[in-house]
Amino acid sequence: MILDLLPHLLHQAAFGAIAAVGFGVLFNFGLRALPWCAASGALTLAVRTLGQDAGWSLEAASFAAAFVTSCAVRLLHVRLGTASNAMALVGCIPMVPGSFFGQAMLGLFALTAPHLENAEPTIVLTMQYMLRVMFTVGAIGAGLAIPTHLLRTPDF
């Protein structure tokens, strides 16, 4: 069964790594830190994909992925130093539901159209997108924050 999942898992991990590296460059991480960004993004997306494949909701899988990544960078604190928090965060950026957020906004615009057709499905879809954004961002934030507060590592 794991072999069936493997291509999808590798695909998600690889593109999670690429997205995290891209944002690492945007956030001005040094070149030597970029492989760590890639590892963080790959781990995050791998855990989220495993969670979703196990039937978890996007929010639950995102929480687990952020939590695992945040714990993992804490284990590597000696190697990463004070950059560990940032490394976990950049790994979680590919999970931020920006596409849902944009679609929710477009849904709100659609609801104010002068001749609205099929209002109910649009309302339901827009609300779903909006709630998914709120819960997923909340899940990522909580997943990152809980290990930070429990396993205190120095910020300086």
* Pick 11 or 54: Cβ nearer another protein: 11
Residues 6 or more apart whose Cβ sits within 8 Å of residue 147: 67, 70, 71, 74
Q: DSSP of 120-147, one letter per residue?
A: HHHHHHHHHHHHHHHHHHHHHHHHHHHH
* Among 62, 69, 34, residue whose Cα is nearest residue 48: 62
Minimal distance in Å, beta carbon 73 to another protein? 14
Dist. CA 29–CA 90, nearest whole Å: 10
* Pick 72 or 86: Cβ nearer another protein: 86
Interface residue list for another protein (CB under 8 A): 11-12, 15-16, 18-30, 33, 45, 82-83, 86, 89, 92-94, 96, 98-99, 101-107, 109-110, 113, 122, 125-126, 129, 137-138, 140-142, 144-145, 149, 155-156
Minimal distance in Å, beta carbon 75 to another protein? 20
* Pick 4 or 155: Cβ nearer another protein: 155
Minimal distance in Å, beta carbon 109 to another protein? 6
C-beta atoms surrounding 137 within 10 Å: 18
